[in-house]
Structure 1
C-alpha cells in the first residue's frame, strides 16, 4: 500500500457520492481515494443516499470499502469534515460532533494557502424545489434514479464495445432549457451568499455539475459528483483550485496528472 503512487493536494472536496444506489461509481471513487492524499478532505453532502435506502436496500461491498477508505484517511491524520446534504440529512442532528475522527458540520469556511476564504456547504438550502416542495423533489429523484439505471446499462454496453464512460443523464439534463436555467439561478444564489458574508468564494455540490467560474467577483466552485461527472475539486499547494476529472483510472491518466502537479511547482515532485 505504501508503494502506491499518490497525488498530494492541500485539500480535496468531493460530494454526491450517493452510496447506497446502483448509480454510485464506487470503483472509480476507490481508485481516486487510493491515489490521492490531502491535508483536508471535505465530504460536501449526499455521501450516503438515505432517500434511496428508505425505498429499497442496496449496499455493495465496494460501498463499504469507500467508507473504510475514508475512515482510514482520517485515522492517518487527514482532517476530514462531513457536511450533510439533503439525501443524508439525518446526519444533521449530529452537527458539531465527531464520528471516527470525522467532524460533522452544517457549513465551514476554508482558507486556502494563498489566503482566500471560501464558504463550504452542500447547497440544497438554495434549491427551491427541495425547500418548498420536497415531495416534488422525491418524485424527481426517482425519475433520476431510473435514468441512472439506464445509464449504467448503456455504459456496460459501451464497455463491451471498447468505448469509454459517457453520462446519459448529464447529456439529457444539459439539453433541457429549464434545467439550464435552474443551474444558473442556483449558482448565482450560492455566490450571492458568499458575497454577503464578505468571502472570496463558495464551494458546494448538490446539482451534479462541476464548475469553476467567477460570478460578480465571487469564485463559484462546484465539485460535481460521483454518479455522473466523476469529479473532485482540489487545492494545489499554491492555493490554486482546480476541478479534477476521474473518468479514467489513475493508471490510464497518470501522465496527465503528473503534468498537472509539476505545473503547480516544477521543483517539487508531488507524484511519488
Structure 2
C-alpha cells in the first residue's frame, strides 16, 4: 500500500483546488448578512408595489432582526379594489419563513395597515406586532422605531385629504411603471419619477423637512440618540440637532432599506445594490464621470 503522502499527486491537488474554487464561488452567492434590516412602505395589494424586486432582496439578505416599519399591506387600496398578485403572496411567505428559521421579525403598523394596530403587543406566526419600540445598535445607540404617520399633519388633521393625495399618488406610480418598463428595455437603470417630482415641488420639500424635524424632536424629547421611520417614501440618514434621523425609504419608488452591520453602522441599501451589484457599480461610476468639476 502506498504511504498517505504518495496519494497527494498533482491531479489530486488539482481536484482539491477545483473544489476550493467551487466553495469560494458558493460563498459569493451567499446572502448579504446584517445585524438588522428595516423595510417599510411596501404597499402589498397595489399595482405600484415592487413585490418581485422586494422578494429578490429578501432572498439575497439575512439578518438577526427584520423590522417591518409600516404600510406593508395597503388596506386603503384593498378596500377600493382587490388586487393581490402571486408575488405579493410570495413576499408574505418569505417573511414568515424567515421568522420560522430564527429571524426576529417585528411589525410596526402604519396608516395604510392601521387595522393591524388592534393587535398591538400580540405575536402571530413568530412575528411580533408593536406600536413603536427602542432599538439598541451594536454601538449602544438607542433609536426610536415607528412608522411616523402620527407626525404627519395631513394624516392627523385632514385624513380625507390624505385619501385624495393617495389617489393622485397611485396615478403617478402607474406613470412610473410605464417609464421604467421603457428604461429597462433601453438598458437603463431604475429611476423614480415620483421621487423626482417630490424633490422639484417646493411644498413637498417643505413637508418632508417638517416631518423629519418633528421626528428628530420627538427622539430628542425622549432622550434617545435617533429615530428610524418610514411613511414619506424618502430614504435618508442625516443629523438633525444632534439626533440621527433615518428613513428606510419604500418599495414602490426608491426600492431601499436601512441596514445595520455587526459593527453597529447604519446605512441605506437599494435593490440594485444588493441584487445587481455589478450594474449598480457601473451606474455609480457613470454618475461620477458625469459630475462636472465645480
Q: Is TM > 0.5 for Structure 1 vs Structure 2?
A: yes
Match of 1:73 among 78, 91, 98: 98
Q: What CA distance in whole angstroms lies between the structure 1 residues aligned with 2:190 and 2:280?
A: 20
Match of 2:87 among 47, 58, 62: 62
Query: Which structure 1 segments of 5+ residues have no match?
Result: 257-272
Q: Provide Cα deviations, 1:105-146, integer angstroms capped at 9, x if missing partner.
A: 000100001111000000000000011000000000000000
Q: Which residue pairs with 2:265 in the alignment?
A: 240
Shift of 1:166: 1.1
Change in 2 beyond 3 A, CA 1:245/1:168 = same
Q: Which residue pairs with 1:38 in the alignment?
A: 63
In the TM superposition, structure 1's runs of 4+ consecutive aligned residues that sit over 2 Å from their partners are 1-4, 251-256
Are 1:212 and 2:240 an aligned pair? no
Larger Rg: 2
> Any conservation in 1 of the 2:272–2:279 contact (CA below 8 Å)?
no
- Number of residue pairs matched? 256
Q: What CA distance in whole angstroms lies between the structure 1 residues aligned with 2:169 and 2:125?
A: 32
Are 1:155 and 2:202 an aligned pair? no
Q: Which residue pairs with 2:38 in the alignment?
A: 13
Q: Which residue pairs with 2:213 in the alignment?
A: 188
Shift of 1:161: 1.7
Match of 1:40, SS?
strand
- The equivalences for 1:139-150 within 5 A come to 139-150=164-175
Q: Which residue pairs with 1:50 in the alignment?
A: 75
Match of 1:206, SS?
coil
Q: What CA distance in whole angstroms lies between the structure 2 residues aligned with 1:126 and 1:77?
A: 33
Q: Which residue pairs with 1:124 in the alignment?
A: 149
Match of 1:102 among 120, 127, 135: 127
Q: What CA distance in whole angstroms lies between the structure 1 residues aligned with 2:37 and 2:171?
A: 30
Q: What CA distance in whole angstroms lies between the structure 2 residues aligned with 1:179 and 1:143?
A: 14
Q: What CA distance in whole angstroms lies between the structure 2 residues aligned with 1:216 and 1:249?
A: 32
Query: Which structure 2 segments of 5+ residues have no match?
Result: 1-25, 282-294
Shift of 1:205: 0.2
Q: Which has the higher helix share?
A: 2
Shift of 1:3: 9.5
Shift of 1:209: 0.2
Q: Which residue pairs with 2:50 in the alignment?
A: 25
TM-score relative to the length of structure 2: 0.84
> Any conservation in 1 of the 2:176–2:194 contact (CA below 8 Å)?
yes
Q: Provide Cα deviations, 1:213-267, integer angstroms capped at 9, x if missing partner.
A: 00000000000000001100000100010011113562444996xxxxxxxxxxx
